[in-house]
């Protein structure tokens, strides 16, 4: 294996390593990304609070109605007992009984509304709980898949790194320096194969002398147009 061929192998390995590393970075970003879970938790908390206060309102109204009923009974009892004969007093009592009745009706309406509200708060709470469970299941599944991929990539990287070390042993310092410079400036395409007498990277035809030199592989030959290191495929 001549220097150009060794560099071409190195490039193949380096490109795969950098693809894997890019995917690793992407996976790490995805793992750190917020899922729908916190928002679903927040919705559930709010639904829970709304349900609790709705239930308290129903209970309060029921207590108030109860209190009103005994007041009402006392007024009616006094009204029909025959104990009160004073017409002014009787009239006051009648007015009070009527007012209590109106308040009772209003409270009953409010209670009905509060009960309906509690029912829908209950439905919203159940929906929020189901949403949260689903969000958690999705987050777990995606996390597991990403962790599995992460592990696969780490396993695949290990032999690649070993291959890289072996290839590097066959490359001299000057060739490696040129390769690194070109690898950086030519987006990972430092070495280009010669195809039908032309550089595959830029497509420009090379002289037959150049092609001959590449074939012999005694020294590094660069494309007369793009400057990449040429190699016979």
Residues that bind Zn ion (CB under 5 A): 199, 201-202, 223, 225-226
Using CA atoms, how far apart are residues 24 and 154, in angstroms rounded to an integer? 9
Phi, psi (degrees; rounded to nearest 5) at 200: -70, -30
**With respect to Zn ion, which residue has the nearer C-beta, 40 or 190?**
190
Nearest distance in Å: CB 6, Zn ion: 20
**With respect to Zn ion, which residue has the nearer C-beta, 61 or 190?**
190
Nearest distance in Å: CB 219, Zn ion: 17
Nearest distance in Å: CB 213, Zn ion: 15
Nearest distance in Å: CB 158, Zn ion: 34
**With respect to Zn ion, which residue has the nearer C-beta, 7 or 128?**
7
**With respect to Zn ion, which residue has the nearer C-beta, 67 or 197?**
197
Phi, psi (degrees; rounded to nearest 5) at 46: -65, -40
Nearest distance in Å: CB 168, Zn ion: 25
Using CA atoms, how far apart are residues 16 and 37, in angstroms rounded to an integer? 35
Placement of tokens 């009592």 in the chain: 93
**Through-space distance between the first and last CA atoms of the chain, rounded to whole angstroms:** 12
Using CA atoms, how far apart are residues 17 and 29, in angstroms rounded to an integer? 18
Chain center to CA of 137: 12
Placement of tokens 């071409």 in the chain: 8
**With respect to Zn ion, which residue has the nearer C-beta, 139 or 226?**
226
Using CA atoms, how far apart are residues 208 and 92, in angstroms rounded to an integer? 123
Nearest distance in Å: CB 230, Zn ion: 8
DSSP H or E run through 73: helix 37-80
**With respect to Zn ion, which residue has the nearer C-beta, 9 or 210?**
210
Strand pairing report for 198-199 and 229-231: unpaired
């Amino acid at each position: 294996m001549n220097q150009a061929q060794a560099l071409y192998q190195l490039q193949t390995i380096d490109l795969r390593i950098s693809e894997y590393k890019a995917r690793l970075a992407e996976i790490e970003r995805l793992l750190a990304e917020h899922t729908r879970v916190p928002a679903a938790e927040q919705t559930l908390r709010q639904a829970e609070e709304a349900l609790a206060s709705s239930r308290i309102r129903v209970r309060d109204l029921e207590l108030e109605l109860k209190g009103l009923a005994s007041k009402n009974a006392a007024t009616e009892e006094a009204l029909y007992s025959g104990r009160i004969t004073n017409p002014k007093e009787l009239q006051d009592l009648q007015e009070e009984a009527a007012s209590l009745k109106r308040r009772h009706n209003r409270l009953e309406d409010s209670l009905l509304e509060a009960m309906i509200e509690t029912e829908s708060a209950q439905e919203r709470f159940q929906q929020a709980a189901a949403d949260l469970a689903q969000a958690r299941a999705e987050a777990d599944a995606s996390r597991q898949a990403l962790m599995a991929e992460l592990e696969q990539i780490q396993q695949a990287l290990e032999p690649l790194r070993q291959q890289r070390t072996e290839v590097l042993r066959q490359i001299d310092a000057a060739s490696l320096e040129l390769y690194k410079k070109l690898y950086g400036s030519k987006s990972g395409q430092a070495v280009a194969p010669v195809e039908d007498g032309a550089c595959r990277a830029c497509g420009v035809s090379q002289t037959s002398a150049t092609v001959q030199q590449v074939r012999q592989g005694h020294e590094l030959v660069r494309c007369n147009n793009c400057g990449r290191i040429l190699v016979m495929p």
